[in-house]
Chain A
Amino acid sequence: MSADEPVPESTGDSGTELADRATPRRAGYRHLMRAVLYREYLVFVRYPANAIGGIVVALFFFGLLFYGGRMIAGQALTDSIEGIIVGYFLWTLSIGAYSSISNDIGSEVQWGTLERHIMTPFGFAPVALLKGVAKLVRTFLTSALILAVMLVMTGTALSLNVVTVVTVATLTVVSVLGLGFAAGGITVLYKRVGNWLSLLQFGFIVLISAPTFDLGWIRLLPLAHGSALLQRAMVEGTRLWEFSVVDLALLVGVAAGYLAGGYLVFQIATRRARRLGVLGDY
């Protein structure tokens, strides 16, 4: 019997009972994906205040950086504005992906919905991953808007090959998603540590501006290598297929490694929370 084939009709429908005994069909991962993504979409469009607030705050600080910097540094800032914009764009993407996934896991614990998911046939794992994808898409939309305003505000032109930018930026931010999962796992275990974990976001600035070409090992850190590639793509106009295989392999490897590592930390933390009996205690 296929996944979506109706279940055979069973007896005992009195007409007053709740059960749809004739037609229930099994939900698969396709249905789960639709349900999770639709939920994220509804929350995004129905409660836009958070997204709008994030955009306004990000642009306010960029305005301070740009106009304040121009008064102090003058031409020096103007000369490096392209790199600053790309770095700022990547930073907003990173903090959006990181905070949304780590905060979201904390909220699920607080609401008791994480415990409900753990009992379901799917478990919380695929739900969390799908939420991560949704958050990534959402963050891309808001960061793209921030990028557009930054370009207009500064009168700067960048190379925006969509395939290259989206691919490199996505793979770069996936490593941060892994950090978000790890932070979520720590939140499951120790609860109210969100403010401390938020401090990590400032570390992203260091990683984004890290000198990867001087110190090779830094490329293994999250964001660093991807940031360098994104600068080349957006400032120098390098296309995806023009990067070396080694660069691309490292980009994919770092993304996969940190995502898998972060997810493993989340799973271990959740299991430990179950052993300590603190999974749902908030």
Chain B
Amino acid sequence: MTVSESVIETGESPERATASRPDAASGDPAVVVDGLRKSFGSGTGTVTAVDGVSLTIEQGSVVGFLGPNGAGKTTLIKSILGMVIPDEGEVHIDGVDARASPRAAYADVDAMLEGARNDYWRLTVRENLRYFTTVSGVEPDSVTARHDRLLDRLDLTEKADVAVRDLSRGMKQKVSLASVLAGGASVLFLDEPTLGLDVESSRTLQRELRRLVAEEDLTVVLSSHNMDVVERICDRVIIMSDGEIVADDTVDALLRTDDSHRLELTSADFDNELLATLTGRPAVVRTESLARGGRIELRADSDQLYALLADLDERGVRLDDVASVDRDLETAFFDVTGMDGPDP
């Protein structure tokens, strides 16, 4: 049982006493979404942001939401959190119906939302932790040691008494993460947690987040455009497109799903004319002219590969280098969503 669950079950905080939460040991999934639908606008201008999405997120899992802009990720997350009222569908958090008993359902939930400060910049780091601990229903004096350890984990101890407004952007993101963890929330929603951070700050935040997830047995739902972040942190990835889930699997499974060969062929015999001819071939993903010859990238099944190699052989092309291209989450994402990949 987590701290916050202990508090909720034994306390009499507003609206909690009447809607007791189930024990985590009961095995209820952390989040269940059933047939959630949300449209904006009316008449011909109606836009369906989330189109009948159903999903289950188990306790202790780290799930990443991926999708192009307008895919419906943020609307889905905000609908789960009750910040957007869906047109249809149900949301259960730890087995509690979020619409019928919102306060009980969200008692152990906190969120870092995209583009928002999430905390008060004119207060110090520690004052923010204490304030948001209180509003999450826990007396801050009873979790001072937890706050100290949280500050230590996130390298914020020296800045504990500094106003958040005086911190760097990376530090502010850490404070935001610390404040959502301060009250002992066990289900976290993080929307673009590394947005705007430099590489080093982003890596640090990812590392600390992963460590906190393991230590705290947190359930994390993370939405990000940064596929490296999702690949590094998440156990499972949900890819959305046009308001629907188009893929839902583990990172490993998504990386394995493609049976095609991904190769990069380099040859001094690839002149511009030949590269132009090859550009039209279905197996050729891209071509590149080099100072001496050129390079082509292939994504081909076996038949296409052998046919292309035979064709090149007939043209007298001698390959200088054949390299395998690793499939990454970005490639999987573009395959699944059917979008064009980024320019080379």
Contacts and interface: CB of A to CB of B under 8 A. Distances in A.
Interface of A: 1, 3-8, 10, 14, 16-21, 23-29, 31-32, 34-35, 39, 42-43, 46-47, 111-113, 115-123, 126-127, 271, 274-277, 279-280
Given A18-B153, A119-B109, 12 more contacts: A7-B6, A20-B143, A26-B11, A27-B136, A27-B140, A35-B140, A116-B118, A120-B106, A122-B13, A127-B135, A274-B83, A277-B75
B16 interface: yes
A34 B135 CA distance: 11
Interface in B105-139: 106-107, 109-111, 113, 115-123, 127, 130-139
B274 interface: no
A32 B107 CA distance: 15
A32 B139 CA distance: 9
A4 B140 CA distance: 12
A127 B131 CA distance: 11
A121 B120 contact: no
B148 to A, nearest CB: 9
9 contacts: A19-B3, A20-B146, A21-B3, A26-B8, A111-B116, A111-B119, A116-B132, A116-B135, A277-B40
Interface residues of B, number: 67
A193 B119 CA distance: 23
A213 to B, nearest CB: 44
Contacts of A25: 7, 138-139, 141-142
Contacts of A115: 81, 83, 111, 113, 116
Contact of A117 (B75, B85, B135): B135
A42 B4 CA distance: 28
A274 B110 contact: no
Chain B contact residues: helix, strand, loop or mixed: mixed
Contact of B122 (A8, A35, A47, A279): A47
Nearest to A276: B40
A19 B146 contact: yes
A198 to B, nearest CB: 22
B14 A8 contact: no
Interface of B: 1-4, 6-8, 10-16, 38, 40, 49, 75, 78, 81-85, 103, 106-107, 109-111, 113, 115-123, 127, 130-146, 149-150, 153, 163, 181, 184, 212, 215-216
Chain A contact residues: helix, strand, loop or mixed: loop
A27 B75 contact: no
A18 B14 contact: no
B8 to A, nearest CB: 8
Contacts of A127: 135
A272 to B, nearest CB: 9
B117 A277 contact: no
Contact of B137 (A26, A111, A112, A280): A26
A105 to B, nearest CB: 14
B147 to A, nearest CB: 9
A25 B10 CA distance: 9
B83 A18 contact: no
B83 A279 contact: yes
A28 B13 contact: yes
B184 to A, nearest CB: 6
Contact of A113 (B110, B118, B150, B153): B118
Given A39-B131, A118-B83, A26 B13 contact: yes
B216 A18 contact: yes
Interface centre among A17, A27, A43 (most CB of B within 10 A): A27
Nearest to B81: A119
Given A26-B12, A274-B83, A35 B113 contact: no
A8 B6 contact: yes
Contacts of A3: 11-13
Given A1-B10, A121-B107, A113 B85 contact: no
